[in-house]
C-alpha cells in the first residue's frame, strides 16, 4: 500500500526536494508506516508551462478535472514563493471549500528550506561549523555566534551557489538551480533524515505552516485509507 501525493510547483527543483521531505513528514509527523509516492500533476494534465503562471494554469485545469476523476491522489501540494501574491489569491479562490489541497509558501524560494536544514547542508557541502568560510551562510554576531536565518535570506539560490563555490567536496556550482546537486542532497540527506525541526526553526512562517498543513492532510488521508474522496 502507498499514498500518492500530487505536486504543483514552479520548477524542477521543487519536484526534486519535495518528495523526500513529504515522506519524512508523513512518517515522523503523521505516523505513516507505508510509502509515499509523488507525481507531477502537469503530466496527466499535459501542461508544460513553468513559473507561477504555470502553477495557476495547472490548478485551474486540475479543479475542473477532479469533478470527473480524482487521479488516485490522496491530496495535492501547491508550492509558491511570496512574490506571487496575486497568483496565491487566485489559487485560494479556486480551491476554496475543496478538501485535498495544501498551499505552501516558501517565502523567497524552496532553497530556503534546504538551507534551513543546517546540519545536512553542512554535511552535503563538506563543511563543519568550524571550517565554514566567511560567506552568506556564515553570518555571525559580534560574539561569533551564527545568526544566519534562512527564511530572511533574500537570495537563497545565491547562498547555495556561494557554498558550492567554496566547497572542495562538490564538483559543480549551484548557480540559478542545479537539479543534479539538488538530487544529490535529497537522496543522500533528506531521504534518510531531513532535519524537520531545524527547518521549522529557520523557516517558521513558510515551512512551519506547511508542516502543520501536511501533517493534517496525512492524518486525514490515513483515516480514509490514503485516497482523495
Helix 85-95, helix 51-65: angle, nearest 10:
0
CATH node for 3-107+205-223:
3.40.50
Percent of the chain with pLDDT over 70: 97
Domain boundaries, the chain: 3-107+205-223, 111-177
Give residue 141's pLDDT band: very low, low, confident or very high (50, 70, 90): confident
Exposure pattern of 41-71 as b/e (b: 16+ CB <10 Å)?
bbebbebeeeebebbbbbbebbeeebeeeeb
- pLDDT at residue number 229: 38
Percent of the chain with pLDDT over 90: 69
**pLDDT: is 227 or 223 the higher one?**
223
Phi, psi values for residue 75, rounded to 5°? -165, 175
Output the average pLDDT for the chain: 91
What are the tens digits of pLDDT across the range 143-164? 888 899 999 999 999 999 999 9
Q: Is the pLDDT of residue 228 over 60?
A: no
Average pLDDT of the residues in 204-210: 96
**Bridge partners (DSSP) listed for residue 102:** 77
Average pLDDT of the residues in 166-176: 96
Amino acid at each position: 500500500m502507498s499514498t500518492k501525493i500530487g505536486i504543483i510547483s514552479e520548477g524542477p527543483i521543487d519536484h526534486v526536494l519535495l518528495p523526500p521531505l513529504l515522506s519524512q513528514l508523513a512518517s515522523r509527523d503523521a505516523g505513516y508506516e507505508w510509502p509515499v509516492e509523488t507525481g507531477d500533476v502537469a503530466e496527466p494534465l499535459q501542461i508544460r508551462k513553468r513559473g507561477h503562471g504555470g502553477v495557476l494554469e495547472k490548478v485551474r485545469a486540475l479543479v475542473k478535472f477532479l469533478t470527473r476523476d480524482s487521479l488516485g491522489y490522496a491530496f495535492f501540494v501547491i508550492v509558491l514563493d511570496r512574490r506571487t501574491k496575486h497568483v496565491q489569491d487566485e489559487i485560494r479562490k479556486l480551491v476554496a471549500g475543496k478538501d485535498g489541497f495544501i498551499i505552501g509558501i516558501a517565502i523567497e524560494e524552496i532553497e530556503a528550506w534546504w538551507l534551513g536544514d543546517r546540519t545536512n547542508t553542512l554535511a552535503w557541502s563538506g563543511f563543519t561549523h568550524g571550517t565554514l568560510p566567511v560567506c552568506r551562510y556564515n553570518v555571525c554576531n559580534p560574539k561569533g555566534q551564527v545568526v544566519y536565518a534562512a527564511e530572511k535570506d533574500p537570495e537563497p539560490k545565491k547562498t547555495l551557489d556561494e557554498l558550492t563555490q567554496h566547497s572542495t567536496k562538490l564538483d559543480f556550482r549551484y548557480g540559478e538551480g542545479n537539479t543534479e546537486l539538488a538530487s544529490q542532497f535529497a537522496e543522500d540527506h533528506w531521504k534518510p533524515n531531513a532535519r524537520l525541526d531545524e527547518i521549522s526553526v529557520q523557516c517558521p512562517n513558510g515551512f512551519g505552516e506547511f508542516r502543520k498543513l501536511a501533517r493534517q492532510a496525512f492524518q486525514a488521508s490515513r483515516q480514509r485509507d490514503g485516497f482523495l474522496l
